[in-house]
Structure 1
């Protein structure tokens, strides 16, 4: 196992050169790059930029652990939207391979692409729910999502890529059980989870149990902490997740990949509004690695 960083937590939008340099300066061994939208995928990740980023990653001694982008329309009722999502996925895979990684990451879609409430607003809301239209065919939408996911997995398999899908609250894949259901329904070895306890914990999961249930389908990880009431992204050790149990479980199932420190709701974070993280944020990342490394040392868990 090794620790990495998510570039968007240092620089929310491209260019990502400085973000990668700051990840390396924090002593991390790997990094993730992202295209928030298809337009960014096409406009920023040109051949020249890809060559530049590969050189920069090599110069900094960073592994590119995964490339992140979420196609819109994976669970849309409109077949044209789903076709567009597959083409976005194809472009994402091509970009990932050109950048030098064999891992891609996406967030699972909402059923029917419905708007869902922000779980961060839950603690202050008097009532919590969503106005779901009646008469929707939920089985048909699930089957359409499975079919679209299977088409994407065919592309991944053909290119030697694994797809680390990330559960979020209220989405088709929101916990370990729904992840395993999708894996069983699709039947592709290319499909697994980007294990992110900050989203699983408020969805009712015990993080270490999720690790054991996922086993070898745990492809990559994002680490941050919270108290289970929202999907806030605090520094590990500041919430209620049992990180010692999580690290032991990951070691037990043979995980030997990258754990990206993905902090957002901490001092100095970049975020969509702030743009660029401060030195205080970099210190939060360093403290996260120190905390998790100490657990690994205590438990005899090797790090690279």
Structure 2
């Protein structure tokens, strides 16, 4: 079986697409096997909110053993904790404790960093809104905010919380990768730079995401140049610019020649995460989408 270069990472969106969000944590070892069988020697794992993260935490030694048996790397572990940006101080404190457990998992399995979505503003949604990867524009526009929210106070508390998270990660030798998506406070290059300047943490990184940023009209080549020293992990998928979607390379409108020419110019030596799928993307052959896109990136970068 062909093995892709270790700089190419099979993202956790693969089992999410196959089994739903979040995929059952008790099946993590089986998910590892499936990503291995695609030909990857590097994969991404996740702990999604409290229950899922704690289940993965309880499996952490079995996960480490499984990875070692197959000589698999997990460069980045995702601890998805939207409660870190809550307006409630108690909720933020609870999620910092969960984040520390995510960092423990990351260090145990030899990861370089821990990844989370950029902070979601303290939106208040109807109680029947499900746990989802992405909120659509209509849902975001209908969201409310806490009645007595003081934005200046909230901003100071939020940036202090993320700085604390960065310190927790740094103490374990990890970077904190901030992932952009629609509706978060660092969805674009400008927004991340503004947020990063407020946090002031040396290990805070931007997990550039080609599809999400293309959708919000961020210029990818310019983003690479501006964030050169703050990027060591890139999520790669295509997008048509009309909605949030994560397509195989070549199935959207991203100008890949410009993207990879800029990668060469900046002498990028980080990782590329194949982040293809999701129920928004309508991909008929998921396995082939990962293999074909990984082969394309490998040809352009190795």
**TM-score surpassing 0.5?**
yes
Partner in structure 2 of residue 272 of structure 1? none
Instruction: Return the offset for 1:175.
Output: 0.8
Partner in structure 2 of residue 172 of structure 1? 185
2:215 aligned residue (198, 202, 211)? 202
Instruction: Return the offset for 1:212.
Output: 1.0
Q: Give the TM-score taking structure 1 as reference length.
A: 0.84
**Which stretch of structure 1 is more off in the superposition, 139-148 or 159-168?**
139-148
Partner in structure 1 of residue 198 of structure 2? 185
Instruction: Return the offset for 1:69.
Output: 1.4
Q: Give the distance between the partners of 1:50 and 1:44, measured in 2 at CA.
A: 6
Instruction: Return the offset for 1:251.
Output: 3.1
Q: Give the distance between the partners of 1:179 and 1:266, measured in 2 at CA.
A: 30
Task: Give 1:17-166 correspondences, 5 Å limit.
Answer: 17-46=29-58, 49-115=59-125, 129-133=141-145, 136-166=149-179
The CA deviation string for residues 137-160 of structure 1, in whole angstroms up to 9 with x for no partner, is: 333222221111011111111111
Q: Give the TM-score taking structure 2 as reference length.
A: 0.84
Instruction: Return the offset for 1:105.
Output: 0.5
**What value does the CA root-mean-square deviation take over the aligned residues?**
2.5
Check conservation: 1:194, 1:219, Cα contact below 8 A: yes
Instruction: Return the offset for 1:170.
Output: 1.5
Where does structure 1 lack aligned partners over 5 or more consecutive residues? 269-279
The CA deviation string for residues 77-128 of structure 1, in whole angstroms up to 9 with x for no partner, is: 2111111121111111111111221310001222124449997755xx7x98
2:296 aligned residue (271, 274, 291)? 291
Check conservation: 2:82, 2:120, Cα contact below 8 A: no
Aligned residues: 281
Q: Give the distance between the partners of 1:229 and 1:243, measured in 2 at CA.
A: 18
Which SS does the other structure have where 2:198 is aligned?
helix
Instruction: Return the offset for 1:34.
Output: 0.6
Q: Give the distance between the partners of 2:168 and 2:226, measured in 1 at CA.
A: 26
Where does structure 2 lack aligned partners over 5 or more consecutive residues? 1-5
Partner in structure 1 of residue 228 of structure 2? 215
